[in-house]
Amino acid sequence: MFRYSGSNDVRHLPSPRVEAVDTLAAGDVFHGTFALGLAEGWDEERAIAVASAAAALKCLRFGGPLGAPTRAETLAFMQGST
């Protein structure tokens, strides 16, 4: 569960559940994806959801930053997990 502050409240978004094999660089993937989403004009909730999915996918792969997923992989993962 991802918890963040809304304008007047605390909100919660579920995070994808995966069997992690390597968490190295997952935070970097999350923050990079989140920043990209905001820069592209996504609202905070969408940016958090996509960033959480990207970080979850990263955790499924060995290789630190080399295991970072592409945008297409992340969006396809989100489609399959809804």
Q: How far apart are CA 12 and CA 24, in angstroms?
A: 24
Write the single-letter amino acid at 36.
L
Strand 2-5, strand 10-13: pairing: antiparallel
Active-site amino acid positions: 25-28
Q: How far apart are CA 47 and CA 34, in angstroms?
A: 5
